[in-house]
Amino acid sequence: MIETAQAFGVDIGGSGIKAAPVNLEKGEFAEPRLKILTPEVSTPQAVAAIVRQQLEHFDVPADVPVGIAFPAPIKPGQKLDFMANLDQSWIGVDVTEVFSEACGRPVVVVNDADAAGLAEQQYGAAKGQDGLVIATTLGTGIGTALIYNGVLIPNTELGHIELAKGKGDAEKYASSGVREREELSYKKWAKRLTKYYGLMEKYFSPELFVVGGGVSRQSAKFLPHIDIKTPIVPAKLRNEAGIVGAAYYASTKQ
């Protein structure tokens, strides 16, 4: 691993596992990321073996902090009680313990949306923002991270908030995945997002919304049509945020 990297980040998703050494001074990859497809049967053993492979590929020194962004609520010392995008054999497992044993070293695990939010707060669109920031990732579902005066409030699942007028679970109505499946125009999708962010605005009165996920590249097509009072801006780190945020979070825990 090259000298400009101070930490190592891994971002685990339902389709791919991405990893890279991170320059924490700049909040960017120190080397190009390595992506390996998530195993079709994504058991703890299979996924952990890939993370170990990535550490070995980059020859990560033993004293370098390793952070893993994981697609579930993470409570240190507690076993997982919910899993949506990986094999159900993860339920009942201590995620940090599994990765630490497989990698032969201590690692830090953080919820993937929380990792992305931290990256935006530390290096991106929310840098220097006081008060409450709500970072969201729009993808297959809706991920959320709450950061208050620079401090993470972990494991929020506000993509599952109930929308008014019988619309049910928000991510089943307003995610980017729903937009694709229903072939909604960006303007029509923005009307749904207005309902979602409007409700979040009412409940939490944030200072800023940050919108991430792959669709943030197209933010000019839908953000201007979201009709709320709170400032809402696209994420700057986009799909790098999970890796960068996980690496940063690990560096704060070492």
Pick the CATH number of 7-112 from 3.30.450.20, 3.30.565.10, 2.60.120.10, 3.30.420.40: 3.30.420.40
Share of the chain above pLDDT 90, in %: 85
Query: pTM value?
Result: 0.92
- Is residue 157 predicted with pLDDT exceeding 70? yes
Task: List, for residues 98-123, the tens digit of each pLDDT value.
Answer: 999 999 999 999 999 999 999 999 99
pLDDT score for 166: 74
Q: How far is CA 191 from CA 57, 142, 161, 239, in A?
A: 45, 16, 17, 25
CATH architecture of the domain with residue range 125-235: 2-Layer Sandwich (3.30)
Rg (CA), the chain: 18
pLDDT band at 43 (very low <50, low <70, confident <90, very high): very high
pLDDT score for 164: 63
pLDDT score for 72: 93
Cα separation, 235 vs 120, in Å, equals 7
pLDDT score for 239: 83
pLDDT score for 113: 95
Rounded to the nearest 5 percent, the helix, strand and coil shares of the chain are 40, 25, 40
Q: Say yes or no: do domains 7-112 and 125-235 share a fold.
A: yes
The residue extents of the domains of the chain are 7-112, 125-235
- Is residue 254 predicted with pLDDT exceeding 80? no
